[in-house]
A = this chain, B = another copy of it.
């Protein structure tokens, strides 16, 4: 029988690697054309669809942001602990509170990020090689297929819309002869695609324990899933 065709896409290591490489290179929200390209390239390494690529970037972006947020709030907590400790110390010794932030490795980790506004907190994290640019809002149309209306950010490779019609044709190649370039298609060898400014890394972390900064450090050291109901 067929391998029951897993109900969801399971990226191959190569696919994953390439996707992550692209992400690292700055791609965050590929537009329809880009998704097409990426998909067709990745299809050399296994079954894949445009929506998989779309979702992957969506999820990856969101979860990276999430990780960052968590890290930040944790740092904030530590910081505040430190601060308070140091403060106490200073109270006792009357020392100036210079540079007590050297612990942190990121320029973003500053006490100023107490209440990160939901939006418009752009370019907070000038991480090496990644240009987070809030201005270029890269309005694209995932949601509605390759019905690219007028804005075409990329060289409109691979297809053209004509008028009010939709016509989308993506040949993924047969699921059988998958790996390592079927060489039959005109398939540009994935030159990292075009880089482009991406939307900003907006931050907002909910401190699950308490809004009060210091009491935020909980004592549940176990990484247990908080959502499981026995």
| Residues of A that sit less than 8 Å from B by CB | 47, 49-51, 54, 141-147, 163-175
Contact = CB atoms under 8 A, between A and B. Distances in A.
18 contacts: A50-B166, A51-B141, A51-B144, A54-B143, A54-B144, A142-B143, A144-B145, A145-B146, A145-B168, A163-B174, A164-B172, A164-B174, A164-B175, A165-B169, A165-B171, A166-B169, A167-B168, A168-B168
User: Secondary structure at chain A's binding surface: helix, strand, loop or mixed?
Assistant: loop
B175 A163 contact: yes
A49 B141 CA distance: 13
Specify how many copies of this chain sit in the oligomer: 2
Contact of A170 (B49, B50, B51, B165): B165
Contacts of A172: 164-165
Given A168-B166, A175-B164, A49 B147 contact: yes
A168 B172 CA distance: 15
Given A54-B144, A144-B145, 12 more contacts: A49-B144, A49-B164, A50-B144, A142-B143, A163-B175, A164-B173, A164-B174, A165-B170, A165-B171, A165-B172, A166-B170, A167-B168
Contacts of A146: 145
